[in-house]
Every structure is written in C-alpha cells, then in structure tokens.
Structure 1
Amino acid sequence: MPQQTIPAIDFNFFVLGDLGDMFDNNEIFINKNYQRGDIWKLSQKIELIKSINQRYSIGVLVLFVNDEGKYEILDGQQRLLTIIKYLKETLPLSDTDITPCAELSRRDKKLQDAYCVFYLKLKSHDPESKEEDMVQTFLRLQEGTPLNKAEKLNAYRGVFKDTFKETRETHPLFNYLGTERRFRFRQLAAELLLLELDGNFDNKTFPSLDSETMIEAVKKYEKRISRQKLTFYKGNLDYMERSLNMFLGAFKFRDIISFYLLISYLRKKRAGNENLQNEYAVFARLFMQKLNMFSMYQDKPPKGMTKEEFETYKKYKQESKIMTTSDSLRNRLEIMLSEFARLNPMIIADRQRLHDVGQKRILFFRQQGICPECTKPLTFKTASAHHVIPHSAGGRTDDLDHAQLVHDKCHKIIEERLKKQSKIKMLHKKATVRCT
C-alpha cells in the first residue's frame, strides 16, 4: 500500500501593516475560480475591525503556497478582504465608533500595523497532485460552511471546468438570465454540457445532475472533451439564444434544462425542417403560457384548458420539482416531445399521397424514434412514411392511425413482402377458381 502524502504545513504570521502591499503586489491572492466573492455583511466586517483594535485573535488563516512562493487563500478570504478594505479606507465607518485608518495617531497606527495575523501555510510534496491537494483542502475547510453545488464545481480544474466557465462567460444566452449568484450560471452551463456528453438521446437516458455526479464528470473530463459533442452543445445554445432570446428571462433553470434537451433531441433526429427555429420559438411560448395558467396544487383545469392538457402540464410541473434525477429528465423530455408534435399543426397531405413533414414528425414522436420493422433508432431526415393500409384498399394519407415511419431500406423490404403476399393471394385465388 502506498504511503499517504501529506502537504507540508508551516505555522507563521504576517503583520497587518504589510498586508496592503502584499495584496497590491499579488503576493497574496484570491482564486476567483472557486472562492466566493465579498459576502460578509457590514456588521460582520465592523466586528472584525473592533476585534483587531481590541487586540483579540481573529483566528488562523489557511494559505497554499504556489511554485512562485505566492500565497493562495484557502480559508480566511472574508477576514482578509475586510482588513484590506479598512486599510484602503473603502469600508463604511460613518455610523460606527471606529477611527478610520488615516486618522489614527502615530502610536495607534504603529500598534495596529504590528498586529499579527497568524496563518497555516500548506505546500504539496508532489507537483502532480498539488491541484488536487489544494482543492480537497479547500473543500474540507468549508465543510462547516454550506457550499452550493456550483461553488464545489468551481473548486476543480481541467477541461470540463474550463469549458463550462468559458461558455458561461462568452455565450450570449446567459446575458438574458438576470443576475448571477454564487456561480449559478456556471453550474447551468456545466449541467447542460454533461447532458450533451453523457446523455443517450436515442434511449432518452440521461445522467443525474446531483453534486456527486457533476464532480465525477469534472474528473472524468479533466483532460479531454469530444470536439464533436462540444460543437453540438454550443450549437444547441445558439439555437436557444436565437429562438428565445429575451423570453429566456422568464424561464426557471429547470425549464432551460428541459428546453435544452428538446432542441438537442430535435437537432439530433432531424425531426424538423428549415423552419425548426421558428417552430421551436412558437412552441416555447405556447408551452410556457399553458404551464403558467395554473398552480401545481390545483385539482381542476383552469378556464380554456382541457382536462387532458391539465393532466399533461401538471405532470410536467411535478416532474420539474424533482429536477435533477435521470427519470425526471426523461419524463419531462417525453412530455415536451408529445406536446411539440401536438401543438405543431398537421398540414393536409398533397395530391401525390405523400406524408408531409408535420405528419412524419407526429409518427416519429409516436414511435419514440424507433423503426417498428427493425426496432433500431430512426434518423428523421432519411426515414420513410409507410401506409399500413394501402390507397388501393381505402387507406388515406391523413389517417395517421394507419401509418408508420420506417427506415428507407425497411420500407423497401416491407413493399417486397407485401408484393409477395399479394402474389400468393392471387395464386391462391386462381387455384380456388380452377377447383370450382
């Protein structure tokens, strides 16, 4: 069994008077990738400065030293930020009895500058594991503080982290979502990315979006992400931004996830035409309008909504409450696919007796993207519609109850089989006539 590696630990102190210059020279720095911002209330900051003035201890900081000898804050960020604000006179003191730094007497200034800020300095033995040591130390230190999922994700590094961070910062979709709190938009970008990377859209099976699964994804894709899937992921975001833009501001995060699954499925299956972007936009407005017509706790449908619609949208609301489970994601997508097919009106078939795009789409969703002949997944663009009851027997193109969508090659096999069956019937009929 290999020996456990333990970071080197050194106990030391800074004097308060040096901290301002150390921050200015970047000798002590905050890693904004996973640290929270300035979240202390003013009352907490005032109490800290009072403690320093009264020569009380403010606790021990925990710092990680990098290869350049600079200190990265692992624990104590709020205390250090408060001290720096006081030293630079950006801390509001007008309603307090604290003397501003610039107004201290020479004696008091010397006493304050000499105040010792104690710290533990950690340094990893192994260069290969130093990032992991730092992340794990940070997470352990924060166990008493409720970090949310987004903050935990931001404590890690690698390609997956870089990708969702870059996407959140550069993609225009996130500009419509309002004010970000505690890395929540980064978390959303990470969740959508994981759905694209690990989701099976043929079978509608998706990874859970809980903290444990997300952190495993960060580790799994630390070195590499499929370029093809990454391109498709960003293409889906482009579709959503162009189709929905300002409307995105009215979406809850769980709805953004659902609509991402929908557009990714539609694009993968080519279940649409050149007008897909407009159809998607119209559907989103209709769907959200119906969704907001009632509360999940209502027992009866609101005015203007059928009982069937009410039950469908209520089920969606119930599934959305669960939000992160694989079953919830699949169920929400299936509801949306069913509604997408229903709300996009069917066009009357042309005189050539061919099913149009709208009719084919209905068949596609009804069959859940599976060819009934070979039971393999269909690609919408190349699929062929088959009249189960032929026109010669009274079948109608607009009668979708007697139609199915199959692979083009399967359609040819079916046609050949029907010809053989017809030929056998004719021979049998002739034989019967001769016997009589």
Structure 2
Amino acid sequence: MKIDLKKIRVRDLVEDYEDNDELGVRAYGDKLDVRPPYQREFVYKDKQRNAVIETLRRGFPLNVMYWAVRDDGTFEVIDGQQRTISICQYVEGDFSIPIDGHRLAFHNLQQDQRDQILNYELMVYLCEGTDSEKLEWFKTINIAGEELTNQELRNAVYHGIWVSAAKKYFSKNNCPAYAIGSNYIMGSPIRQDYLETAIKWINDGDIDGYMAAHQHDPDANPLWVYFRDVMSWVKATFPKWRKEMRSVQWGPLYNKFKNADLDPAKLEAEISTLMQDEDVTKKSGIYNYILHREERHLSIRVFTDNHKREAYERQKGICPVCKEHFELAEMEADHITPWHAGGRTIPANCKMLCKDDNRRKGGV
C-alpha cells in the first residue's frame, strides 16, 4: 500500500458536508466518503466529541487520519470518521461545547476563534491500494480509541450492497428494527447489536455463515421480514410486556414454536405466578421454561449451607436411597417434594443424598 502525508485545512474538510441516510456522509467538497460500507456508525459520546473540538480550538495536535484514494480520485475515510463527523457537525452548528463557563456553538465564537478552527491543519495519510489492503488496514489500525465490536468487524469483512441495505433496517438511530424491537432486545443499533442479533436468530447462531452467503444480495429484505415476524409473534404470544423480556433470545423460540397452538391468556397466568415465585431466581428464563418445560432455565434457588447441615443432622448422615452413612461433604441437597410439584426451597423440604444417588436421580 502506498501512503503519502497531506495537510487538510478544516475549512476545506467541511465544504459541502452532508449526512444523508440514503447518500451517506460526504465532505471535502463532495470528494470524501466519510462513511464507506465497512465503516461503523457515529458512536462518539459528548465528552469525546467535545474533546476533538477543544483540541482544534487550542491548536493542539490531533491524531493522524487515514483516507483511501479511489480510482476516480475521490477519497474514503479508513480511520478518522468519528473525528471528521465531530468537526463537521460543530462547524455546521449541530452542537455546542463548554468554553469559559458558557456553552458556545461555532456561530457564537468570535471571528478570530472561528478562523482558528477553520485554518487548523489536519494530518491525513492518503493510502492507495487494493480493496483487501484497505480493509486490512482499517481492521488493524487504532480507530480513535474505540474498539470495534465483533459485528462491526464482520460488516467490514463482508462489506457490500447487502451490508449497506441491512444497516438501514438495523443500524441507525431510530431505525425500523429499533422502532419495533427496542423493548425486546438488549444493546444499541449503532453498535450493530440489533443486526448481530437478527442474523444470529435467523441462522441458528452462525452469523459469519449467513453474511458470507448473502454478501452480494441486492437487498436485506428477507432478514428484515424475518425479524418483523419474530417481533409480531412475541407481541401476540406474550402481550403483557415486562422488562425481563429484553434478556430473552426470541429468535430460537420463534423458530421452534411459531406454529404451535399457544394460548396467550394461559401463558400469561403461568408467567405471573412464576414471576411471584421466590424460588425462581432467573425471571427472564420464565419465557423459555413455559415453552421448553426445562427447569434449568429458571435457576431454581438452591438450599443454603445451613439448610444442608440441618437436613444432614436430621438424617444422621444416612442417605435415604442407599441407606449408607456419608460425611456432609460427600452429600448433596435435593427437594423432598420437587419444585415443579409445589415443593419449596425451605429447610423442611430439604433432604441430603449421597452424590452418586443424587446424580443418578438427575440422569447424570
């Protein structure tokens, strides 16, 4: 890869700046693609964004940026998107920063202060090479101190029409996926959590396999339709929303039970009962449990050491199954009346079994 150093004034960088959902982010007299397909969304927090402007205002050195030179003579940002957008947004008047006890936007500054920023010279390395070289460079250089998420790296590896289309559905602030799924999914669209989740659900966890197979598809409509169907099924099957629903992996449940004959009213009655059960320590697991009927999803409360000692002394160290004597450390606690049959995790319902009998009982 050929790399040359060039100084770019801020006033030239911000010329014709535009942030458009359809056209992307452009700057530098429309010659710079600030967000090419492999790039992440804008993720800087206010403190980071303000620090960029303060660096320019004081004339301090800003970390070097990297632009790739395209065949047509235009450029695309390899490293520096977050700083570039911060600078352009400030000059455009999109936000203000604290200066001497006041919050001042660019237009609030004195002319000499504005000129100080506009005449600031950015250090930019212009890089020429193949798409693969540019992509590898993007993956390995330091991205302004913000570590890439796994999905952001996948977007880079499998960049193309499909990724660009999928990001419109899943990777923007207030994107369609956020609008219908924000109550049911953890994470942030702009950090690619929604896109990662949707692909994981539709392809049984194999995210790379799905992206590799669909990299050159003309659109991402099948993924969007699938995600929309999952959310519709969740809302119809479990109409009462609870905060625990954000922690549920809905895709696998939809994939297995979408055609099952489920009664939302009966499910809700059982969910409500389980939510009030103090022995159920993992409330988000209730949704998996009522469909799969596997108690492991609930993390049933275990007996305390005091409960175990009390039961051990009551049994005089005798295992009720094999009738042999064991030391306390050689035994394990079990419910006398199983939890699913109404047994509670209380001292009176605790029995101690030798490890072999307890594990045979559990099918281990």
- State the TM-score bracket (shorter-chain normalisation): 0.5 to 0.7
C-alpha separation in 1, matches of 2:277 and 2:36: 41
Paired residues of 2:238 and 2:264 also in contact (CA < 8 A): no
Paired AA for residue 212 in structure 2: K
Paired AA for residue 78 in structure 2: L
C-alpha separation in 2, matches of 1:159 and 1:100: 37
Paired AA for residue 140 in structure 2: R
| Residue of structure 1 in register with 2:119 after alignment | 114
Once the two structures are superposed, what CA deviation does each residue of 1:60-105 show, in whole Å capped at 9, x if it has no partner?
0122333443333232223222222332233323554687544555
1:109 Cα offset (Å): 4.4
C-alpha separation in 2, matches of 1:217 and 1:239: 23
Aligned with residue 316 of structure 1, among 257, 272, 297: 297
| Residue of structure 1 in register with 2:192 after alignment | 183
In the alignment, is residue 221 of structure 1 matched against residue 214 of structure 2?
Answer: yes
1:118 Cα offset (Å): 0.8
* Secondary structure at 1:252 match in 2: helix
In the alignment, is residue 71 of structure 1 matched against residue 80 of structure 2?
Answer: no
Paired AA for residue 207 in structure 2: M
| Residue of structure 2 in register with 1:51 after alignment | 55
C-alpha separation in 1, matches of 2:110 and 2:168: 49
Once the two structures are superposed, what CA deviation does each residue of 1:292-347 show, in whole Å capped at 9, x if it has no partner?
34578759xxxxx9xx99x95540246xxxxxxxxxxxxxxxxxxxxxxxxxxxxx
Structure with greater helix percent: 1
| Residue of structure 2 in register with 1:157 after alignment | 159
| Residue of structure 2 in register with 1:82 after alignment | 86
| Residue of structure 1 in register with 2:250 after alignment | 256
Q: TM-score, normalised by structure 2?
A: 0.57
Q: TM-score, normalised by structure 1?
A: 0.49
* Secondary structure at 2:42 match in 1: coil
Larger Rg: 1
Paired AA for residue 69 in structure 1: G
C-alpha separation in 2, matches of 1:108 and 1:234: 49
| Residue of structure 1 in register with 2:181 after alignment | 174
* Secondary structure at 1:186 match in 2: helix
Once the two structures are superposed, what CA deviation does each residue of 1:25-67 show, in whole Å capped at 9, x if it has no partner?
433343275413242223x333333322332111101223334
| Residue of structure 2 in register with 1:292 after alignment | 275
Identity of aligned residues (%): 13
Once the two structures are superposed, what CA deviation does each residue of 1:129-153 show, in whole Å capped at 9, x if it has no partner?
x2x4444333223576333333333
Paired residues of 2:35 and 2:81 also in contact (CA < 8 A): no
C-alpha separation in 2, matches of 1:249 and 1:11: 55
C-alpha separation in 2, matches of 1:112 and 1:235: 46
Paired residues of 1:17 and 1:113 also in contact (CA < 8 A): yes
C-alpha separation in 2, matches of 1:152 and 1:246: 36
Paired AA for residue 150 in structure 1: Q
Paired AA for residue 202 in structure 2: L
* Secondary structure at 2:52 match in 1: helix
Paired residues of 1:296 and 1:314 also in contact (CA < 8 A): no
Cα gap change, 1:116 to 1:162, in 2 (>3 Å): closer
For structure 1, the 5+ residue unaligned runs are 1-6, 196-208, 300-304, 319-436
Paired AA for residue 275 in structure 2: N
C-alpha separation in 2, matches of 1:121 and 1:111: 24
* Secondary structure at 1:152 match in 2: helix
> Considering only aligned residues, what root-mean-square deviation do their CA atoms show, in Å?
4.4
The count of corresponding residues between Structure 1 and Structure 2 is 270
Paired AA for residue 316 in structure 1: H
* Secondary structure at 2:40 match in 1: coil
Paired residues of 1:62 and 1:121 also in contact (CA < 8 A): yes
C-alpha separation in 2, matches of 1:245 and 1:32: 40
For structure 2, the 5+ residue unaligned runs are 19-28, 300-364
C-alpha separation in 1, matches of 2:254 and 2:73: 44
Cα gap change, 1:40 to 1:283, in 2 (>3 Å): same
Paired residues of 2:68 and 2:78 also in contact (CA < 8 A): yes
